[in-house]
Amino acid sequence: METIFWISIGGTLYSYIIYPAIMWAASHLTRKKTPTKNPRKDHTISLIITAHNEEQRIAKKIEQSLALDFPSDQLEIIVASDASTDNTDQIARSYSDQGITVIRAQERFGKEHAQQLAVNHANGELLIFSDVGTEIEKKSLMALTKYFNDPKIGAVSSVDRMISGDGTAVGEGLYVRYEMALRKHESQVSTLVGLSGSFFGVRREICADWNTNIPSDFNTALNCARQHLKAISADDVIGIYPDIQNPVKEYPRKRRTILRGISAVAASTDLLNPFRHPLFSFQLVSHKIMRWAVPWFQLLLLGSNLAIVDQHGFYQLALLGQLTLLTTALVGSVIYPKTDVIWLKIPAFFMQVNIAAAQALIDYLMGKRAITWAPSQR
């Protein structure tokens, strides 16, 4: 039972601490050439904004996109409507005289289906995908293009900046910072396992293999690996969006997102072959599969700890630590779900992520799949 206890500790810590430490160490041993600071002027870009029932926010998103620092004659803006039933399409079409194109899915088959329709219509050399709720930093499109001067780079992911009402980062915002730091190290070592779905750019040819059953950001990273191209995170390509107001309402989104991720990995077993993709398969297992396994390692850790708690004082302290963490997470999730107290919000967030991961795996094993989506209202 002690062996199970220590294996469970390793499994619980691996994806969140051990693997990032490996990437951090490797990135400091790897020196990558910095891309040129002079962006090409002949890139053409199609900015695809995916929307479903966004009548409250679509006008602001379009106006912000039109104000981006990028030559208007090289920028095409397409609103991909996932069969919106409100006034989203009408509002977007009112900007047609400013070059906005609306591509509408007649039936709601999901975000990726709407994006595929827009991809088929787009004329840009580079395709940029963004959500309505994400504000693109004004110079980010111009910054993004320079990375594609390197023919080895297939996709560029934004750095997400999540900001709370008072401008600080708590809860999910701190997790986003952690994730962005990990992606930075992955970029320096090899390639990203997943992109920021709210804002990323990709070479058009990589989108030829577009699977509507796999999240587009994840599928893009997988396709880059298959084509032996790099997907990177760029510090000067920035997407900004507010922290969630009520974490409880975000739980179904987390569960659905992880379910789609599990489905994507299950459909991409070729990338788990360490002989064909030695480094990427290691990253895919470490960053994704081992993270989704954390709740099961936690259950094993708690059970084994209870079984050996009387054998040594260390195991008593370990059990006390686990129970304290669980109690704190429960208080932050149930009793004070909207709290801004950081020592309640962070445990609550990680507890919800792990429960969502456990339920998503159960959903997958029961044959459930997630296709449609609902944008976060932040």
Task: Please answer whether residues 117 and 80 qualify as being in contact, where contact means their C-beta atoms are separated by less than 8 angstroms.
Answer: yes
Mean pLDDT of 206-214: 89
Is the pLDDT assigned to residue 370 strictly greater than 90?
no
Please give the Cα distance from 334 to 302 (Å, whole number). 21
Mean pLDDT of 22-33: 82
Which pLDDT does position 40 carry in this prediction?
53
Edge-to-edge strand list for the sheet holding 45-51: 100-104, 75-81, 45-51, 126-131, 199-203, 153-163, 230-242, 135-136
| Confidence category of residue 246, pLDDT binned at 50, 70, 90 | low
Is the pLDDT assigned to residue 18 strictly greater than 70?
yes
Mean pLDDT of 198-223: 93
Please indicate whether residue 68 or residue 162 has the higher confidence score (pLDDT).
68
Q: Tens digits of per-residue pLDDT, 146-178?
A: 999 999 999 999 998 877 655 554 455 677 788
Quote the crossing angle between the two packed helices 172-189 and 342-365, to the nearest 10°: 70
Which pLDDT does position 377 carry in this prediction?
57
Give the list of residues 6+ apart from residue 41 with CB closer than 8 angstroms, or none.
71, 74
Give the list of residues 6+ apart from residue 313 with CB closer than 8 angstroms, or none.
none
Q: Tens digits of per-residue pLDDT, 95-149?
A: 999 999 999 999 999 899 999 999 999 999 999 999 999 999 999 999 999 999 9
Query: Which of 87-91, 171-175, 214-218 shows the lowest per-residue confidence on average (mean pLDDT)?
Result: 171-175
Task: Please answer whether residues 231 and 191 qualify as being in contact, where contact means their C-beta atoms are separated by less than 8 angstroms.
Answer: yes
Is the pLDDT assigned to residue 87 strictly greater than 60?
yes
Please indicate whether residue 60 or residue 335 has the higher confidence score (pLDDT).
60
| Confidence category of residue 302, pLDDT binned at 50, 70, 90 | very high
- Average of per-residue pLDDT values in the chain: 88
Cα separation values, 1 from 293, 305, 313, 321, Å:
19, 8, 16, 19
| Confidence category of residue 38, pLDDT binned at 50, 70, 90 | low
| Confidence category of residue 371, pLDDT binned at 50, 70, 90 | low
In 3D, which of 121, 283, 111, 128 has the Cα closest to residue 211?
A: 111
Number of residues written out for the chain: 378
| Confidence category of residue 17, pLDDT binned at 50, 70, 90 | very high
Task: Please answer whether residues 302 and 321 qualify as being in contact, where contact means their C-beta atoms are separated by less than 8 angstroms.
Answer: no
Model pTM score: 0.87
Q: Which domains does the chain have, with CATH numbers?
A: 1-29+246-378 (no CATH), 45-243 (3.90.550.10)
